[in-house]
Amino acid sequence: MRGRSLIFRFLPGLRILIFLILSGYSGMLFGGISSVSGGYGHSLYVKSDGSLWGMGRNSSGQLGDGSTTNRITPIEIESSGVLSVSGGGNHSLYLKSDGSLWGMGDNSDGQLGDGSTTSRSTPIEIESSGVLSVSVGFYHSLYLKSDGSLWGMGYNSSGQLGDGSTTNRITPIEIESSGVLSVSGGDQHSLYVKSDGSLWGMGYNSYGQLGDGSTTNRITPIEIESSGVLSVSGGYGHSL
């Protein structure tokens, strides 16, 4: 199991948000904010004008400003056109209004999906069109396309990419070909909801976070609920 508890991993990012609120940045954070996401030690948010902003830890270039300098006040990453953002351990992905998917930061496990394991301090394009949503785990990334297909890349030691292996993937692989409505990346597990209301999961399961009555890791998706599910979120060792 890599790293520390997700609570401690993401605590620095939460501290930054609290600091900004207490320091008078609450208007910046909550006035006209359309999306927000906290990574391990960094925070990201999208404003109503489509601009993307970030602050905090930047050791792998996860703030996309061309440096690896930590930022104690928000910096603008994109000036317009951003719809949503998701922060991982030390990487970040965001979705633009044209359906393109972009990423930056740590890429040591291929979590940016660009065919390399080279970290990026400026945003790179992962998909040029057709992406509807994105969610990242600590070392892996997941996204949903407009045809209902589910894709993933990055760290796969526990089977969190659901491809039947534990091999890391440096380019996106298709997990489901259709019918997926939403997805969430946990620390080393992944969950998604299908259009029939069923809930599926794969990856690390030592705490029972896949809800299948076992603590056995799953390298292919298993059905957790057969119907009635609307949304899902994966944490460090639990799922909701």
Round to whole Å and give the CA distance between 196 and 226. Answer: 8
Structural domain ending residue among the three candidates 47, 70, 93: 93
Indicate if 144 and 227 belong to the same structural domain: yes
Instruction: Classify residue 172: in a domain, yes or no.
Output: yes
**Domain around 148:** 130-240
Which pLDDT score is estimated for 15? Answer: 53
In a domain, 99, yes or no: no
∠ CA 201-2-106, rounded to 5°: 90
Distance CA 210, CA 160 (A): 11
CA distance 73 to 55: 6
Q: Supply the DSSP string of 128-192, one letter for each residue.
A: SS-EEEEEE-SSEEEEEETTS-EEEEE--TTSTT-SSS---EEEEEEEESS-EEEEEE-SSEEEE
Q: Is the residue at 117 inside a domain? A: no
- pLDDT at 21 (0 to 100): 45
Q: Is 122 inside a domain boundary?
A: no
Domain membership flag for residue 111: no
pTM of the model: 0.86
Residue 86 maps to a domain: yes
Q: Could you tell me if 139 and 233 lie in one domain?
A: yes
Whether 114 and 91 have beta carbons less than 8 Å apart is answered as: no
What is the reported pLDDT for 159?
A: 97
> 7 and 68 in one domain?
yes
The pLDDT score that the predictor gives to residue 74 is 97
Give yes or no for a contact between 158 and 188, defined as CB atoms under 8 angstroms apart.
yes
pLDDT of residue 31: 58
Same domain flag for 142 and 233: yes
Count of structural domains within the chain: 2
Local confidence pLDDT in tens for the 240 residues of the chain = 454 444 444 455 555 555 444 444 444 445 599 999 999 899 999 999 999 999 999 999 999 999 999 999 999 999 999 999 999 999 999 999 999 999 999 999 999 999 999 999 999 999 999 999 999 999 999 999 999 999 999 999 999 999 999 999 999 999 999 999 999 999 999 999 999 999 999 999 999 999 999 999 999 999 999 999 999 999 888 998
Same structural domain, 12 and 62? yes
Q: Considering the domain boundaries, does residue 110 fall inside one?
A: no
